[in-house]
Chain A
């Protein structure tokens, strides 16, 4: 049982298994805020704001310099959309809306804007649901995370997710740890919001 060859083999397998699971992430940090836009008890769309950390390398997007403050012009906004936004369509813009555990599909984003606020890059956009979902009939949750954890999302303040629009007065969004959707090979368990009415 304590044959050195067996122990060494086990040791190497252990190293292999542990080493293969993880890579050194994250590299991009974003603080987000989301406004869940509702009509009665139905979720219609999610209006999001992403605030990047100061060290975000905009040069990789193909923009050499940003204004000190304020919105970017149409040309720079188009560059950001093409180089650092549209590619996220396949990842549903890192937005995860679940109804009874099933992922809901978003339509094309609207109102994409880029601005600089206190030296930090800010994205704002709206993600409409393809099929509005009734919160009363389903267990609905919303989370914003990158499965690969290259990007680390954190809520921008205590009330980062709010409910807006013509929502029923009883609708609320409560934070919880989403153990059903661990990311980064099971190392990170993201935070999500349970939306109920």
Chain B
């Protein structure tokens, strides 16, 4: 089984490496895959200085009719009105809060009072909450991970908090690193943030692969003793209290109890360790890409000579993000438990089904990371800075 698991992990890693290698060697890379390395301007667009004039010349040559169909990407798809309004509402309010936040950060330059700081931090927290409402890659990973296995509430909170902390730290390191060490100053911050999108995708491959490996090798996706332990087993364990161990009994019975207890304890400890490692890996991978809102606040705070206020605001954004992602994760856990409860008639098959589903969830994360990385590196997708 272990050999099989290692083989499977090897196959997954090979897939990731193949996708990335393909991305680097493909001819399209030379023309358009500046994605990971090019400069990104303040409008979030990759700067392609050498090809700009070429594009202009091309359009000169082809525009005898005055039209350029290629310049306008066709987005004919419109979401259903209800869904569009709900999403647009969250986006509009997030945008307004972000604008207020940016203005409040800029205001630090003029009046750096306690009231200004508190307003900024309050706005930052509210922005973080709404920032995470709109679906994104962090919630895809969190939702898939939590929704595909039996997880505890504490694990959902840990994953959300860890992801948000990594995201905040990523922005802080990026901005302060640029401010203190980079020759070009701040001008490359967004480019570096875009590069971290690719890094995040590659790390998601590794985190998903690790989750698959630990799930298959250690069976730790589905060991929820509270729901899966059979009633006769619990009765027999309860009947053997500490005192009863000293009572006369057949040696076989006592050995069986000790063996069962030590086995379940070590499995529980092992499961906890590997779940913690999965959460650390998954949270780091999905949080390593910083939020542009945090970057802008930090830049404004540094410009106003109040860097610590910027750091506090960045962590306030992180707290808001963690709150929303936690609620989202709890929803995923609730859905999982609801479905588990519905499957009571096929309980005997549930454990296998849960493991299959947990592996499938991790596989989705691996494939998502690999596909995103390949598309970005081949230039078919621009790195997302959000």
Question: Residues of A with Cβ closer than 8 Å to B?
Answer: 2, 4-5, 7-9, 11-12, 15-16, 18-29, 53-57, 59-62, 64, 83-84, 86-92, 96, 99, 102-105, 108, 129-131, 133, 146-152, 179-189
Contacts and interface: CB of A to CB of B under 8 A. Distances in A.
Contacts of A129: 66
B74 to A, nearest CB: 9
Given A11-B147, A182-B75, A20 B187 contact: no
B91 A12 contact: no
Given A4-B340, A5-B357, A60 B139 contact: no
B106 A151 contact: no
Given A4-B353, A87-B41, A187-B88, A60 B52 contact: no
Contacts, number: 230
B95 A29 contact: yes
B209 to A, nearest CB: 18
The 5 closest A-B pairs by CB, nearest first: A55-B102, A131-B66, A19-B140, A150-B44, A103-B72
A84 B39 CA distance: 11
Contact of B69 (A62, A102, A130): A102
Contacts of A130: 60, 63, 66
Given A59-B299, A187-B87, A8 B139 contact: no
B300 to A, nearest CB: 6
A147 B42 contact: no
A103 B74 CA distance: 11
Dominant secondary structure of chain A at its interface with chain B = mixed
A188 B75 CA distance: 11
Interface stretch (B5-13, B130-138, B245-253): B130-138
B52 A186 contact: no
Given A24-B386, A105-B71, A108-B56, A59 B43 contact: no
Tier of interface size on chain B? 35 or more
B280 interface: no
B103 A55 contact: yes
B200 to A, nearest CB: 13
B45 interface: yes
B75 A88 contact: no
Given A7-B339, A60-B187, A152-B95, A84 B73 contact: no
25 contacts: A8-B339, A12-B147, A24-B293, A27-B98, A27-B293, A54-B102, A55-B104, A55-B300, A57-B42, A59-B186, A83-B42, A87-B45, A88-B41, A92-B68, A105-B66, A133-B66, A150-B45, A151-B43, A179-B78, A181-B72, A182-B76, A182-B77, A185-B79, A186-B75, A189-B84
A150 B91 CA distance: 11
Nearest to B70: A103
B260 to A, nearest CB: 28
B41 A83 contact: yes
